[in-house]
Amino acid sequence: MTATALQRIPTLVAGLRHSHSRGITRPEEWRREQLTRLRALLQDRGADFEAALRSDLGKSGTEARLTEIDFLVSEIDHALAHLARWMRPRRVRVPLAVQPASARIVPEPLGVVLVIAPWNYPLMLALSPVIGALAAGNAVVVKPSELAPATSTLIARLVPDVLDRRAVAVVEGGVPETTALLAERFDHIFYTGSARVGRIVARAAAEHLTPITLELGGKSPVYVDGTVPLHLAAQRIAWGKFMNAGQTCVAPDYVLGRPEVLRELAPLLAEAVHHLYGSAPEKNPDYGRIVNAAQFDRLVGYLADGDAVLGGAHDAEQRFIAPTLLTGVDRAAPVMRDEIFGPILPLIEVSGLDDALTFVTGREKPLAAYVFSENAAVRRRWEHETSSGALGFDVPALHLVVPDLPFGGVGESGMGAYHGERSFRTFSHEKSVLSKPLSPDTLAATIMPPFTARKDAIVRRWVGKLREPRV
Ligand code: NAD
């Protein structure tokens, strides 16, 4: 990875702004062309992206296709299929007191957008917001994560060759480069990563009154009760947790259950892990690696917080940590304080549903919560009594592939959302356009001074009551 020279950044952003103000990003045709070219790049160079993801995260080719490359392709297909409708102005009804008039909501591009990406899905999380920004007709700077250097290099090398360089730029680097970018004025900043850096981004954005989307993380809980086939719950929990070696923002962070449920669940989780990754996950190409030594050390530190009833093995040189289940964990231990973001799953005993709900609502709002229960009343209570970016019944993580579900956090897990049409709206300004003919001049006759007795009567009798549109 070659960091972009700091002194180039202001010129680069100014160039994008110039292109945007000349209107080159606005036509539907331009947007379609960019998206189509990006799609072709992902398909033509898919093998190179797979290799980069393997180098950065030990990601298997199939997982790279599923969660990054093909995910982006289908997001582009969805945008192309719906772009015309998203771009169309929407008529809204006009109250009787304002008639005759017509009112429309007209989406317009925000301008120049900055996308800052993390390392865990370094391709998908860099380009998925770019798809929304381009669909909405913006110029974009994308800053991939320096902690996934192979993917960052590849994005910086390939993307400018296929997209319109006048309107799309890739900046490579870490804190100094991101800091230099944040000093510039943007029309939207889309940040994915930790809440700590999210606060830095929010502060920098405030200087320019720039709107932001913060896609953050948190501890996404799982609650399991005895009403579901536990072997199936175990399989899905293990899949959601150990994919990408646990380095997934919506991965189950910990499991809550009554002692007798967890006693039954633990061996089933072990069986599920065995089924997914075999008896020697360190040799299994489907199982990923920890991104770097700092993350590895942080994760290994958590192993002291409980008893590893499965896994616990680790190898610093390989940055390998086996899929691990921890029991006997204190609720206040570090592993239950920080977002784990690795292949360690604590099983936490609760006395029942009330205890689980109190546990979750007493903490920061998570990016997702998962409930394995066939009991409708239990599901209803989770839906009504807890707050999280998303809620999954009987399945973790999968909500993020439903394009019509907005993806994002709430509270400490983030603000704003994207995917599908929501991405388009996130990167658009919804301009209100009202058009009222000068004739007949209903305003002068009713609500403008000089106020006569007749106008007074009209105002008192009708205006307030006629705000509601005529159906
Ligand atoms: P991070 O915040 O360390 O880094 C993300 C980006 O911020 C990188 O591009 C980095 O260069 C930049 N950055 C880092 N420090 C900076 C600073 N001081 N000033 C300016 N820029 C800086 O995050 P991370 O460790 O890469 O990601 C892990 C977190 O991201 C987890 O909490 C995870 O849950 C969350 N996450 C959320 C989502 C989501 O979609 N909501 C997806 C993936 C990860």
Domain-wise residue ranges, the chain? 8-216+417-429, 221-408, 438-467
Structure tokens at 40: 């072709």
- Residue 321 has which token pair? 């940590």
* 230-247 pLDDT per residue, tens: 999 999 999 999 999 999
The reply to whether 249 belongs to the active site is yes
CA-based end-to-end distance of the chain? 60
* Selection from 137, 136, 169 nearest residue 22 by Cα: 137
For the whole model, what pTM was predicted? 0.96
Asked whether 122 and 148 are in contact (CB, 8 A), the reply is yes
pLDDT band at 413 (very low <50, low <70, confident <90, very high): very high
How does DSSP assign 331-360, residue by residue? TTSGGGTS---SSEEEEEE-SSHHHHHHHH
Question: What is the per-residue pLDDT for 462?
Answer: 76
Alpha-carbon dihedral sign for residues 159, 165, 167, 171: positive
Q: What pLDDT, on a 0 to 100 scale, did the predictor assign at position 205?
A: 98
Is residue 330 predicted with pLDDT exceeding 60?
yes
Range 421-428 average pLDDT: 98
Residue 142: strand, helix, or coil: strand
pLDDT tens sequence across 199-222: 999 999 999 999 999 999 999 999
* pLDDT above 60: residue 93: yes
Q: What is the largest CA-CA distance in the chain?
A: 89
- Point out the catalytic residue in the list 63, 215, 412, 421: 215
| Sequence letter at residue 437 | P
Distance CA 428, CA 108 (A): 5
pLDDT at 56 over 90: yes
Where do the DSSP E strands lie in 81-171? 90-92, 102-109, 112-116, 139-143, 168-170
For atom 43 of ligand 1, the residue with the nearest CA is: 249
At residue 461, the pLDDT reads 84
Give the mean model confidence (pLDDT) for residues 70-91. Answer: 98
394 Cα: distance to centroid of ligand 1 (angstroms): 28
Residues 6+ apart with CB under 8 A from 208: 185, 186
On the question of pLDDT at 459 being above 90, the answer is: no
Which is the catalytic residue, given 63, 249, 349, 421? 249
CA of 265 to the centre of ligand 1 (A): 33
Minimal-distance CA residue to ligand 1 atom 40: 215
- The sign of the torsion formed by the CA atoms of 51, 57, 59, 64 equals negative
For position 471, what pLDDT does the model report? 42
Q: Is the CB of 217 under 6 A from ligand 1?
A: yes
Q: Could you tell me whether strands 307-310 and 344-349 are parallel, antiparallel, or unpaired per DSSP bridges?
A: unpaired
What percent of the chain shows pLDDT beyond 70?
98
Confidence of residue 458 (pLDDT cuts 50, 70, 90): confident
Distance of CA 353 to the CA centre of its chain: 29
Close Cβ partners of 406 (under 8 Å, ≥ 6 residues apart): 417, 418, 419, 420, 422
Query: H helices of 61-148, where?
Result: 61-64, 70-87, 124-135
What confidence score (pLDDT) does residue 468 get? 55
CATH superfamily of 221-408: Aldehyde Dehydrogenase; Chain A, domain 2 (3.40.309.10)
No. of helices (H) and no. of strands (E), the chain:
17, 18
The answer to whether 28 touches 84, Cβ cutoff 8 Å, is yes
Which of the four pLDDT bands, split at 50, 70 and 90, describes residue 467?
low
Kind of pairing, strands 314-315 and 320-321? Answer: antiparallel
Instruction: Determine the Cα–Cα distance for residues 262 and 248; give it in Å rounded to an integer.
Output: 23
Question: Is 175's C-beta closer than 6 angstroms to any atom of ligand 1?
Answer: yes
- Residue whose C-alpha is closest to residue 46's, from 30, 24, 70: 70
Tens digits of per-residue pLDDT, 339-373? 999 999 999 999 999 999 999 999 999 999 999 99
| Across 28-35, average pLDDT | 98
C-alpha span between 383 and 371 (Å, rounded): 10
Mean pLDDT of 17-35: 98
Q: Known catalytic residue: 421? A: no
| Average of per-residue pLDDT values in the chain | 96
Which residues are CB-contacts of 162 (< 8 A; sequence separation ≥ 6)?
37, 38, 40, 41
Show the tokens assigned to 163. Answer: 């997209």
More confident residue, 229 or 458: 229
Confirm or reject CATH 3.40.605.10 for domain 8-216+417-429, answering yes or no. Answer: yes
414 lines ligand 1 (CB under 6 A): yes
The rounded distance, in Å, linking the Cα atoms of 141 and 13 is 8
Question: Is the distance from the beta carbon of residue 128 to the nearest atom of ligand 1 less than 6 Å?
Answer: no
Nearest Cα to Cα of residue 269 among 308, 318, 220: 308
State both tokens at 197.
């850096």
